[in-house]
A and B are shown apart, each in its own frame.
Chain A
Amino acid sequence: MKQKKILIVDDEPNIVMSLEYAFKKKDFEVFIARDGTEALEISNKQKPDLILLDIMMPEMDGYETLKRVRENKDLAHTKVVFLSAKSKEKDVEKGLEMGADSYMTKPFSIKKVISDIEELLA
């Protein structure tokens, strides 16, 4: 089985560090982006299978990033999952409406995140 590529986009280094460690442990190929702009650059190069996307970030926010990813034909197979502290029902609805494949809220359980994502990529 080919190694899955995952791009983690978040501006909080401590959270990213934990996620990176956990995903690598599960044999994912992990890429890190600090904001939306960086995320798009890496996506273009690496064509990740899945992007784990924060919403509130400096410069370009998660919504805009998702929109750009969806516009890119090369990334047609890339799944996008929001991982945000915005946990109200309407935030979740909005995220899914914008075309995210799943919406997970912070704080989260890493085990749950990984199992959901594995399921999504199966």
Chain B
Amino acid sequence: MSNYAVGLVIVLYLSMLFVLAYFAEKNKRSKWTNNPYVYTLSLAVYCTAWTYYGSVGIASSSGISFLAIYLGPVIALPLWIVLMKKVIRISKQHKISSIADFISMRYGNNRQLGALVTLTCLFAIIPYISLQLKAVSETFSLISGKVSYESSVFFDDSTFYIALLIAVFVAFYGTLSTDTSDHRKGIVATVALESILKLCFFLVIGIYITFYLFDGTSDIYNQASLQENFEQLTSFGGVENGFNWLFTICLSFFAIFLLPRQFHVAVVENDNESHLRKAIWLFPLYLLLFNVFVIFIAWAGNISLPETVNYDYYSLLLPLQENDYGLALMVFIGGFTTVISMIVVSTLSLSTMVSNNIVIPYGFIKTLVEGNPEENTKRIKNIRRIAVFLLIIIAYFFYIRFSAQLSLYSIGLISFLIIAQLAPSFFLGLTWRRGTARGAEMGILIGLAVVFYTLFLPIISKAAMPELDFDIEGFFGYAWLRPAHFFGLDYLTPESNAFFWSMSLNTIGFVGLSLRTKGNYRERNYAEMFVNHENYGNLQEGGFIWKGEAYVTDIKRLLSRFLGEQRTNRALRLFNKKYNISETEERADARLINFSEKLLTGSIGIASAKILLASVSKETPISLTEVLNILEESKETKANNKLLREKSEELAAMTQQLKAANEELLIQDKLKDEFLDTVAHELKTPITSIKAASEVLEDENMPPELRNRFLENINQDTDRLSTLIHNILDLEKLSGNRTELDIREYNMSDTVKKAIKGVEQIASKKEVKIKFSNKEKVFAFYDEDRILQVLTNLLSNSLKFTEPHNGRIKILLENLDNEVLVAIEDNGRGIPDEDRDYIFEKFYQSKNQNIKKPKGSGLGLAICKKIVESHKGAIIVDKNFNTGARMIFSIPKQQ
């Protein structure tokens, strides 16, 4: 294939990723970008070209030891989940955006340590990136049939342009926002997709080789077993080899935490802790699938390909040998995919670290303080973009210079070894409070020095001065100083040797110096918060200890330089609201300092944020006991606050209930007052009448017939008084549910007839006709005296409101399934619409309470209603009856 065609495929593929990243970024909140599968797949950025090509290489030359690098993560995953939870929580709380931030924060936000961690990562990752470039370059020349790069200058080299293209991609998408704690959904989504692609492509080529080129796994095994070195390739080796395995597993376990790209996808981009649960089985499964065919491809290559070819690229060479260009191109694209995702995520995290932990705190901070927000955003973006470009370019030159001497696998191991130097300060930092910044720095430096001496020196010397072979003779002729066999440990591979000595000396240096030195209060403050994270997890700004003097206006001015006026004001408003601080407060407290530090951290990194805040405040040191006391206090305050809040919520709820009850009581009270008022008034009227009449009767000259009339009046009013009192007591008795109903079975027809008989005399006097034609027997259970009372009352009302002579009253009795219905209708003046709803209330008076209701005790209908209701029945006014009044009541047949 021509290299232009391959170049075109690469450009097409990259533009597809551009588009995907763009859309994922636009749909940040979508379910497609926020789910545990995308999260787990993005973790698979762990598998790089090293996995894709290098595993086959190592399997073909040294057998199954390639597995160790994947066993580490698989074995360690349960522990990984537990630690990750803690790391993610801490990182979220402190707006941490990289591994350098994390480690430097743990040791009191130490600027120097942050820079050192960043440098360590650079040392580790630049060779790693160059490994990726090497893979792309070599596979590119294989597939395009060209000789490799070495004959051409770099601007002739296609790898250089590929590297540039990748750099543009990262620079554009990775630096859209200056706040590094913002998530980059676009990048993560493309990485997840790439993880699927690379796995699928690798499985396809594995199946193709195993089942198409050969007759399955046993065929490959049989043919491979005929080869001379087969024994060695399938055994685990002895004790020495066991050590090598152990170290590699440890190494890969550290790498999965500490590699900047792993920290980035696992911690910084994590937006939901629960996603970890999916990763616990899905990620090992992914690694397993990736490794299923490695050994068979390696054996197949050993069988079919000449010994002179690079065994790293068997998966590409085998289809090429069969002239299957399509498949070969697929393998190439798969490899390119792994490279892209690794470089993108690595340079993204590294550029953030370089800008936040080195460039800004060590040089740019002054410029930034003087600039305005737009300029600053632009500057920060540019710093990161330049960093991305530089990283890739440096990696490119590293590759030109050294890659000839190194296989993919050994470059990968060197990276892992360097990054592992962060392990003591990282892991011990999470569990051991005593660790100090100086100890961490010392440990890392010692570790790096050992790695350099035992691994790099031999490589560099081999490249630069092949004649000086001190790997065999040792430094100055001392055999125990031989880099690859330090202290005479002869049976370890150079890498295991380097790992063993660097880690041991690193840990000793870290622990030793930590025990000898005492960190400042900041270190101890953060140590406490990281180690006992669960105690302070919910303290937020309150967990940070700071004592000193600072003014809100200074801090505000500082913040607006980076966030702009508007965002600053909004953030401070929210802050004041959250902690109930007055807007006019002039002094800044620890919480504001911490809050501002977090705000700034996103844009310029933790180290610079601290420097800037220190420039506008005067900090005074505090002792460790003070730190612990304050932490304890804020913990208690927090707990107390929570308790208080709960209590006050309870109180509020109770107050609400009391209020409601009180209102109910007030209404009841008012009703009672009104009732008493009305009762008093109703009682006063006959009393007044009696009193007046008796006074008039004192006149001895009054004619006898008039005297008799006054006496008759007194008699009437006395009756009225006693009826009234009787009714009031009756109603009270019914209201309190204190009445015992004497319930038996009666025939309602009989009861109605009894009621009619009771009023017959008055009716005939008034010449009002009462009609009741029902002869049917309707049996029901009720208290006959009470129902008689209801009927009599209703009949009396009808009699009262019908005209003499032509008044008509009709009683209807309806026998329903479960109830008895009685209607009493008349042709009187009827009940006004506006009064209908109220006539059953005691002493109901029309709208205007100074207007008297029609004559009567004012309690009759209220009593009727109570009686019917105590029989579980209902009484209503028939609204549809227009020619008089019709009252209907019903009671159930069974009580």
Is B851 touching A18 in the complex (CB atoms < 8 A)?
no
A61 touches B695 (CB 8 A): no
Contact A110 B692 (CB under 8 A): yes
B489 interface residue per 8 A CB criterion: no
B696/A12 in contact, CB under 8 A: no
Question: Is B226's beta carbon under 8 Å from chain A?
Answer: no
Task: Tell me, yes or no, whether B680 is within 8 Å of chain A by CB.
Answer: yes
The number of residue pairs between A and B whose CB atoms lie closer than 8 Å in the complex comes to 77
Q: Mark B693-704, 1 if CB is under 8 A from A, else 0.
A: 101100100100
Encode contact with A along B702-720: 1 for CB under 8 Å, 0 otherwise: 1000100110010011000
Nearest residue in A to B846 (C-beta to C-beta)? Answer: A58
B851 touches A58 (CB 8 A): yes
Is the pair A14, B693 in contact by a Cβ cutoff of 8 Å?
Answer: yes
Residue pair B688, A106 in contact (C-beta under 8 Å): yes
Docked pose: A25 CA to B706 CA in angstroms: 14
In the bound complex, do residue B848 and residue A12 qualify as a contact, i.e. CB atoms below 8 Å apart? no
Contacts A14-B716, A57-B852, A62-B850 given: A107-B681 contact, CB under 8 Å? no
Q: Are B851 and A61 in contact (CB under 8 A)?
A: yes
Interface string of B648-691 (1 = CB under 8 A from A): 00000000000000000000000000000000110011011101
In the bound complex, do residue B695 and residue A85 qualify as a contact, i.e. CB atoms below 8 Å apart? no
> Are A14 and B684 within 8 A (Cβ)?
no
* B684 and A85 form a contact (CB under 8 A): yes
Q: Is the CB of A18 within 8 A of B706?
A: no
> Contact at B692–A18, with CB atoms within 8 Å?
yes
A11 vs B688: C-alpha distance in the bound complex, in angstroms? 13
Q: Does A56 contact B (CB under 8 A)?
A: yes
| B494-515 near A? 1/0 per residue, CB < 8 Å | 0000000000000000000000
Q: Which residue in chain A gives the minimum CB-CB distance to B680?
A: A85
Are A107 and B687 CB-contacts (below 8 A) given A18-B692, A21-B696, A56-B681? yes
Cβ of A59 within 8 Å of any chain B Cβ, yes or no, is yes
Contact with A along B844-859 (1 / 0, CB 8 A): 0000101110100000
CB proximity of A112 to chain B, nearest CB, Å = 10
Would A61 and B710 count as touching, CB distance under 8 A? no
For chain A, the bracket of interface size reads 20 to 34
Residues in A neighbouring B852, C-beta threshold 8 A = 11, 56-58
In Å, the complex CA distance between A21 and B75 comes to: 117
Residues of B within 8 A of A109 (CB): 691, 695
Contact B850 A107 (CB under 8 A): no
Q: Is the CB of B710 within 8 A of A17?
A: yes
**Given contacts A25-B699, A85-B681, A86-B681, is CB(A19)–CB(B850) below 8 Å?**
no
A62: nearest chain-B partner, CB-CB: B850
Q: Name the A residues within 8 Å of B695 (CB-CB).
A: 18, 22, 109-111
Smallest CB gap from A107: residue in B: B688
Residue of A nearest to B692 (CB): A18
Q: Which residues of B contact A25 (CB under 8 A)?
A: 699
Q: If A14-B713, A21-B706, A85-B684 touch, does A108 touch B692 (CB 8 Å cutoff)? A: yes
CB distance from A54 to the nearest CB of B (A): 9
Q: Is B850 within 8 A of A56, CB to CB? A: yes
Answer whether A61 and B699 are a contact pair too, CB < 8 Å, given A21-B706, A85-B685, A107-B691: no
Nearest residue, chain B, Cβ from A25: B699
- Mark contacts of A60-91 with chain B using CB atoms, 8 A cut-off: 1 yes-contact digit, 0 otherwise: 11110000000000000000000001110000
Given A11-B852, A56-B850, A62-B850: A18 in contact with B681 (beta carbons within 8 A): no
Q: Which of B691, B693, B699, B851 contacts A57 (CB 8 A)?
A: B851
Q: How many B residues have CB within 8 A of the partner chain?
A: 25
Q: Given A14-B689, A15-B689, A108-B688, do A61 and B696 touch, yes or no (CB 8 Å)? A: no
Say which residue of A12, A21, A58, A111 sits within 8 Å of B689 (CB atoms): A12
The distance in angstroms between the C-alpha atoms of A110 and B695, with both chains bound, is 7
* Interface membership of A55, Cβ < 8 A: yes
Q: Determine whether the beta carbon of B851 is less than 8 Å from that of A106.
A: no
Give Cα A87–Cα B688 distance, bound, in whole angstroms. 13
What per-residue 1/0 map shows which CB atoms of A99-114 lie under 8 Å from chain B?
0000000111111000
Specify which chain A residues have a CB less than 8 angstroms from the CB of B688 in the assembled complex: 12, 15, 85, 106-108
Q: Which residues of A contact B696 (CB under 8 A)?
A: 18, 21-22, 110
Chain B's nearest CB lies how many Å from the CB of A101?
Answer: 20
B689 pairs with A55, CB closer than 8 A:
no
The complex places the Cα of A60 from the Cα of B699 at a distance, in Å, of 34
The closest CB in chain B to the CB of A109 belongs to B695
Given the complex of chains A and B, what is the CA–CA distance between A86 and B691 in angstroms?
A: 17
Closest-by-CB residue of B relative to A88 is B677
| In the bound complex, CA of A11 to CA of B855 (Å) | 10
A61 and B692 contact, CB distance less than 8 A: no
Q: Is the CB–CB distance between B850 and A59 below 8 Å?
A: no
Which residue in A17, A63, A108, A111 is a CB contact (below 8 Å) of B850? A63
Q: Which of A19, A63, A85, A86 has the most CB of B within 10 A?
A: A85
| Interface contact A15-B850, CB-CB below 8 Å | no
A18's partner among B685, B689, B716, B854 (CB-CB below 8 A) is B689
Give the CA-CA distance A19 to B710 in the complex, in Å. 12
- Shortest Cβ distance from B714 into A: residue: A14
CB neighbours (8 Å) of A87 from chain B are 684
Q: A88 CB to closest chain B CB, in angstroms?
A: 8
A86 to B678 alpha-carbon distance, docked (Å)? 10
Q: Closest approach, in angstroms, between the C-beta of A52 and any C-beta of chain B? A: 12
* Cβ-defined contact, A55 with B681, below 8 A: no
**Complex-state Cα separation, A19 to B696, whole angstroms:** 8
**Interface hub of B685, B692, B693, B716 (most chain A Cβ within 10 A):** B692
B565–chain A nearest beta-carbon distance, Å: 62
Q: Pick the contact of B692: A55, A62, A107 (CB < 8 A).
A: A107
Q: In the complex, what's the smallest C-beta–C-beta distance from A67 to chain B, in angstroms?
A: 12
Find chain A residues with CB under 8 A from B851 CB: 56-61
Q: Complex Cα distance A111/B848, Å?
A: 33
Distance (Å) between the CB of A12 and the closest chain B CB?
Answer: 6
CB–CB B687/A61 < 8 A = no
A61 touches B850 (CB 8 A): yes
Q: Which residues of A contact B691 (CB under 8 A)?
A: 107-109
> In the assembly, what is the distance between CA of A60 and CA of B706, in Å?
31
Residues in A with CB closer than 8 Å to B716 are 14
Q: In the assembly, what is the distance between CA of A57 and CA of B685, in Å?
A: 12
B residues near A61, Cβ cutoff 8 Å: 848, 850-851
CA distance A18 to B699 in the complex (A): 12
Q: In this complex, which of A11, A19, A25, A107 has the most chain B Cβ atoms within 10 angstroms of its Cβ?
A: A107
- List chain B residues, Cβ under 8 A from A12: 685, 688-689
Min CB–CB distance B576 → chain A (angstroms): 51
User: Is B713 touching A17 in the complex (CB atoms < 8 A)?
Assistant: yes
Q: How far is the CA of A87 from the CA of B685 in the complex (A)?
A: 12
Q: How far is the CB of A7 from chain B (nearest CB, A)?
A: 17
**Chain A residue with the shortest CB-CB distance to B712:** A14
Q: State in angstroms the CA–CA spacing of A15 and B692 once bound together.
A: 7
Residues on the B chain within 8 Å of A57, using CB = 850-852
Min C-beta distance of B135 to chain A, whole Å = 100
Note all chain A residues with C-beta closer than 8 A to B709. 17
Residues of B within 8 A of A106 (CB): 684-685, 688
B672 to chain A, nearest CB (A): 16
A: residues with CB less than 8 A from B are: 11-12, 14-15, 17-19, 21-22, 25, 55-63, 85-87, 106-111
- Can you list 28 pairs linking A and B with CB atoms under 8 Å apart? A12-B688, A12-B689, A14-B689, A14-B713, A14-B716, A14-B717, A15-B685, A15-B689, A17-B709, A17-B710, A18-B713, A19-B692, A22-B695, A25-B699, A56-B851, A56-B852, A57-B851, A61-B850, A61-B851, A63-B850, A85-B684, A106-B684, A106-B688, A107-B688, A107-B691, A108-B688, A108-B692, A109-B691
List 18 additional contacts besides A14-B693, A18-B710; criterion CB under 8 Å: A14-B716, A18-B692, A18-B696, A21-B706, A22-B692, A56-B681, A57-B850, A57-B851, A59-B851, A61-B848, A61-B851, A85-B680, A86-B681, A87-B684, A107-B687, A109-B691, A110-B695, A110-B696
The residues of B with any CB-CB pair to A shorter than 8 Å are: 680-681, 684-685, 687-689, 691-693, 695-696, 699, 702, 706, 709-710, 713, 716-717, 848, 850-852, 854
**Interchain residue pairs A-B with the least CB separation, the first 7:** A18-B692, A61-B850, A107-B688, A85-B684, A14-B689, A106-B688, A14-B713
